């Protein structure tokens, strides 16, 4: 899948897809005036409003700030938010690429908050500020998707994330169960790549793919039975059909 490289013009145009940054404000607290350029609990932001904002963890420690965004203009999605994580991780001049879905705007903190642990952040795709990856290279973009899947998938679409917390309390596969073996990672990567290249809806392209011990679990919401069957068939092209668990749901079922 051909993706567009990082563009210095990104801050000049409105984002074409919603940025899932919902304000985590206390309903009983007074809502203070948002930081200049920010929009509180709005779901859609301009790139210029996002870049430069601080990022803090659940313990209110500052991880860094948003430096840039990586867009896939072909499929209309934000592949990653680039944050300056080096100081927090103890590695100078290091940037980390994290999914949009792990950030929530906290109006009182005037910053994005994330529940990512230091260990999880340390596993994010990282690079030096003067050595950006080539995001026109599929290997670089798949690294972003693999990391996203390993920590919870793309939850920018509510239909594909509403059950996450419930599922984590059950003995069922969730993205944290993704295997780390080369074979498991490759299967997930191959299925994801084929799904992204297929003529499928945005929801379908953002389903969760969890591979462990070469057993693939497909989770999420698709728009039709035809899409569900197409995804299962794609998975069967890269994994043993007897080791595929189909937990996909058709919208409005």
CA distance between the termini of the chain? 31
- Reported as a single tens digit per residue, the pLDDT across 231-252 is 999 999 999 988 999 999 998 6
The alpha helices in 39-163, defined as continuous H runs, are 47-50, 86-89, 118-122, 138-151
Rounded Cα distance, 142 and 148, in Å: 10
Please check whether residues 105 and 205 belong to one and the same domain: no
Q: Is residue 163 one of the residues assigned to a domain?
A: yes
Q: What is the mean pLDDT of residues 89-113?
A: 90
Q: Is residue 145 one of the residues assigned to a domain?
A: no
Q: Does 110 score more than 80 pLDDT?
A: yes
Return the number of other C-beta atoms located less than 10 Å from residue 29's C-beta.
Answer: 9
Least confident interval from 142-151, 154-163, 169-178, 205-214:
154-163
Q: Is residue 236 one of the residues assigned to a domain?
A: yes
Least confident interval from 40-49, 57-66, 79-88, 151-160:
151-160
Backbone dihedral angles phi then psi of residue 18, each to the nearest 5 degrees? -60, 135
Please check whether residues 117 and 166 belong to one and the same domain: no
Residue 201 has what pLDDT?
Answer: 85
Q: Is residue 36 one of the residues assigned to a domain?
A: yes
Q: What is the mean pLDDT of residues 133-161?
A: 68
3-class DSSP state of 222: strand
Please check whether residues 193 and 226 belong to one and the same domain: yes
Range of the domain at 235: 158-250
Please check whether residues 128 and 192 belong to one and the same domain: no
Give the residue with greater pLDDT, 253 vs 69.
69
Closest Cα to residue 124, out of 193, 55, 42, 172?
55
Show which of 103, 135, 167 is a domain's final residue. 135
Domain of 87, CATH number, reads: 2.30.30.240
Please check whether residues 100 and 210 belong to one and the same domain: no
Q: Is 32 exposed, middle or buried (0-12, 13-18, 19+ CB in 10 A)?
A: exposed
Rounded Cα distance, 65 and 144, in Å: 19
């Amino acid at each position: 899948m051909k993706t567009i490289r990082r563009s210095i013009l990104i801050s000049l145009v409105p984002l074409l897809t919603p940025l899932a940054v919902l304000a985590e404000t206390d309903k009983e607290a007074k809502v203070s005036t948002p930081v200049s350029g920010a929009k509180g609990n709005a779901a859609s932001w301009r790139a210029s409003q996002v870049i430069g904002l601080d990022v803090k963890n659940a313990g209110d420690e500052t991880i860094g700030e948003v430096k840039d965004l990586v867009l896939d203009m072909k499929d209309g999605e934000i592949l990653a938010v680039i944050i300056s994580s080096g100081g927090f991780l103890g590695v100078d001049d290091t940037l980390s690429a994290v999914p949009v879905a792990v950030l929530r705007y906290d109006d009182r903190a005037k910053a994005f908050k994330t529940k990512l642990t230091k260990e999880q952040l340390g596993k994010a795709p990282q690079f030096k500020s003067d050595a950006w990856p080539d995001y026109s290279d599929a290997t670089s973009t798949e690294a972003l998707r693999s990391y996203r899947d390993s920590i919870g998938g793309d939850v920018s679409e509510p239909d594909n994330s509403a059950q996450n917390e419930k599922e984590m309390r059950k003995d069922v596969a969730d993205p944290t169960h993704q295997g780390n073996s080369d074979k498991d990672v490759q299967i997930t990567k191959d299925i994801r790549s084929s799904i992204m290249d297929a003529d499928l809806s945005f929801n379908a392209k953002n389903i969760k793919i969890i591979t462990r011990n070469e057993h693939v679990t497909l989770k999420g919401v698709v728009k039709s039975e035809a899409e569900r069957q197409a995804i299962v068939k794609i998975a069967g092209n890269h994994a043993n059909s007897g080791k595929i668990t189909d937990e996909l749901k058709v919208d409005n079922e």
